[in-house]
């Protein structure tokens, strides 16, 4: 009987104003013996969520080697805009995408994937305030709570966190 290898999942959060619920729900959905989760940000102490959650990330995003991961999850919230034009965030997204690995984003964080160029002609969703940015990047915005197109997984935000977590868990298995 073959044994499955643990999946290495990178979660990227903003240093300030990431959505607590998106982070905790996604993390809880994929946490387990078959998943190693690493959290990256631009700080390693007290990344602050919009609802008061403080997280001490495991590493700086600039130190991430994308080839070490089986999936990347970009957590949304207004603070995630710090990664929209971040070269390292784009490198992570494009490297995993080219390898056919899971690249996921919630709400505002979907723009990072769009600007990185991996959403062109993909069916995606995201927060209503970023629809135009997604469409300008060539994405097909569907408005669904959760959208999966190949290895790309997106969600609208906190209203879809349960479904997003379930879809993320399924994508990793």
For residue 47, is it within any domain? yes
Number of domains comprising the chain:
1
For residue 2, is it within any domain? no
Q: What 3-state DSSP class applies to 19?
A: coil
Kindly report the CATH number assigned to the domain that includes residue 149.
Answer: 3.40.50.880
Which residue is associated with the tokens 């959208």? Answer: 147
Convert the pLDDT of each residue in 144-158 to its tens digit. 999 999 999 999 999
Distances (CA, A) of 120 to 80, 115, 140: 20, 10, 8
Convert the pLDDT of each residue in 78-124 to its tens digit. 999 999 999 999 999 999 999 999 999 999 999 999 999 999 999 99
Query: What is the C-alpha separation between 76 and 74, in angstroms, rounded?
Result: 6
- Say what the pTM is: 0.96
pLDDT for res 8:
97
For residue 1, is it within any domain? no
For residue 60, is it within any domain? yes
């Amino acid at each position: 009987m073959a044994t499955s290898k643990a999946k290495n999942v990178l979660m990227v959060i903003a240093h300030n104003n990431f959505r607590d619920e998106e982070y905790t729900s996604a993390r809880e959905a994929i946490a387990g013996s078959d998943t190693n989760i690493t959290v990256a940000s631009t700080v390693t102490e007290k990344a602050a969520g919009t609802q008061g959650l403080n997280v001490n990330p495991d590493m700086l995003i600039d130190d991430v080697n994308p080839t070490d991961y089986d999936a990347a999850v970009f957590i949304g919230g207004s603070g995630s805009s710090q990664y929209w034009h971040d070269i390292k965030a784009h490198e992570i997204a494009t490297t995993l995408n080219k390898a056919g690995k899971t690249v996921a984003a919630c709400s505002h964080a979907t723009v990072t994937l769009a600007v990185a160029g991996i959403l062109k002609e993909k069916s995606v969703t995201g927060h209503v305030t970023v629809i135009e940015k997604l469409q300008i990047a060539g994405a097909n915005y569907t408005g669904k709570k959760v959208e999966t197109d190949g290895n790309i997984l997106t969600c609208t935000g906190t209203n879809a966190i349960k479904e997003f977590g379930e879809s993320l868990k399924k994508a990793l298995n």
